[in-house]
Structure 1
Amino acid sequence: MAQNLTPLGEIHRSVGHRKIVRGEGRSAVLRRHYSTSIVDVWRACTEPDRVSRWLVGPEGDLREGRRYVLPEHAHGEILRCDAPHTLTLSWIYEDYPADELELRLSPAADGGTILEVEHTTVDEPAALAESLALVGVGWENGTDHLEQYLRGDLPDAPRRAKQEPSEDETPRITESDRLWRKIVASALGSGY
């Protein structure tokens, strides 16, 4: 399946700055194209039955100002919802302080959709590079599954909460990790 995905070189990766509730943060930013409408991508990212096909089914009251849970992934609050363009969530994993996740959708010139995922953290400097690389790789892998789902290449059944990468996904994840670490090191100037 991985060979049918967007080539890694066509996925935009960067490190950004963004102020979140916890303060000034740094973010892993991922931008990619989907060959379907904004409404279709939005629904795949916000409707529980559809989210469960490529990520894991969200639980809770999925309205702005309310709380959600992604079993074995994260939990938090829906901070902002401007359908079908922007969704902002607090993102709490285990007992770590809240990060923020923002999904931004815009029209592509070909009638498809550009999805930008920005995961922002206010980590300690010693942990920042590793955190940004990990969330970058994680969201890239997640958006690969979203691409497969939108194309109809995933089983019509909910994903298990924590799934190990398949054999054909492993080389792609390894290369994604290498790319993210290089981008993060360049952006932070840390020699990471």
Structure 2
Amino acid sequence: MVDVNAQIEAVERGVETTERDGEAVRVQRLAQEYPSDLADVWDAVTTDRVARWFLPISGDLRLGGRYQLEGNAGGEVLACDPPADGEASYRATWEFGGGVTWITVRLTALSPERTRLELEHVAAVSDVPDGMWEQFGPSATGIGWDSGLLGLALHLGSAADGPSPEEGQAWMLSDEGRLFTHRSAEEWAKAHVADGADQATAARAAAATAAAYLGEVPHEMSEPGAPEA
């Protein structure tokens, strides 16, 4: 059993449209605290343990090496700073479907037994296919990242591994998993509005993305921040 609402509320989310090196980019951010020490979380996100909570992974997981997630993105490790003075981070390209975006993972020790993970995903606005952002918004990648943070929480919070990719996919189609997808989409709609989107557009995009993930007919969602009936 997963406490869906607790997991959704444990994650901080944000979207920012800005400029980097003179180019318009969208920056997507997530953060969650985990009840594990810095060394353990670092090991979980930089070794073949990734397969135990996210997806099977192959390649050379070191600076300058290339990795490949089964059925998903691959890329190159651009920077790697192992744990030191309570912090650690790595940066890599995220190459999928012919496009290249960039991810950065930062870890901070909050106590000897608690670590904060921050994930930043950056995409050049010009590299996003026309109409995709308007149709799906940040939920398109955000739901997937939320699923990853949930998998890591289950992995670190138990003596057993997290669910296998097959188990995770089956769970996402359960009633509990569907609730998780819709709640994630709703939270990304709020982040979309905070970045300047109007509420109706953000709600439609989030509903369309949730429907695409679940194979459903899109339904209208409450406008983010608006009171429910």
Task: Tell me the TM-score normalized by structure 2.
Answer: 0.72
Please state if 1:2 is matched with 2:2: yes
CA RMSD of superposed structures (Å): 2.8
**How far 1:73 sits from its partner (Å)?**
0.9
Larger % of helix: which? Answer: 2
**How far 1:163 sits from its partner (Å)?**
2.9
Structure 1 residue corresponding to 2:189, chosen from 158, 181, 185: 181
Q: Residues 178 and 4 from structure 1, CA distance in 2 versus in 1: closer, same or farther, beyond 3 angstroms?
A: closer
Residue in 2 aligned with 1:90?
Answer: 93
**How far 1:99 sits from its partner (Å)?**
0.5
Does the 8 Å CA contact 2:151/2:162 hold for their aligned counterparts?
Answer: no
Does the 8 Å CA contact 2:53/2:163 hold for their aligned counterparts?
Answer: no
Q: Residues 22 and 41 from structure 1, CA distance in 2 versus in 1: closer, same or farther, beyond 3 angstroms?
A: farther
Gaps of 5+ in 2: 202-229
Partner Cα separation in structure 1 for residue 194 and residue 4 of structure 2: 29
Residue in 1 aligned with 2:114?
Answer: 112
Residue identity matched to 1:87: Y
Q: Which protein has the larger Cα radius of gyration, Structure 1 or Structure 2?
A: 2
Residue identity matched to 1:159: P
In the TM superposition, what whole-angstrom CA distance separates every residue of 1:77-98 from its partner, at most 9, and x where no partner exists? 1111111311111001122x20
Residue in 2 aligned with 1:54?
Answer: 53
Residue in 2 aligned with 1:137?
Answer: 143
Q: How many pairs are equivalent?
A: 190
Matching of residues 16-165 of structure 1 within 5 Å: 16=16, 23-48=23-48, 50-84=49-83, 85-95=88-98, 97-109=99-111, 111-123=113-125, 124=128, 126-128=131-133, 130-152=136-158, 155=161, 159-160=165-166, 163-164=169-170, 165=172
Q: Which has the higher contact order (CA 8 A, sep 6+)?
A: 1
Task: Tell me the TM-score normalized by structure 1.
Answer: 0.85
Does the 8 Å CA contact 1:87/1:104 hold for their aligned counterparts?
Answer: yes
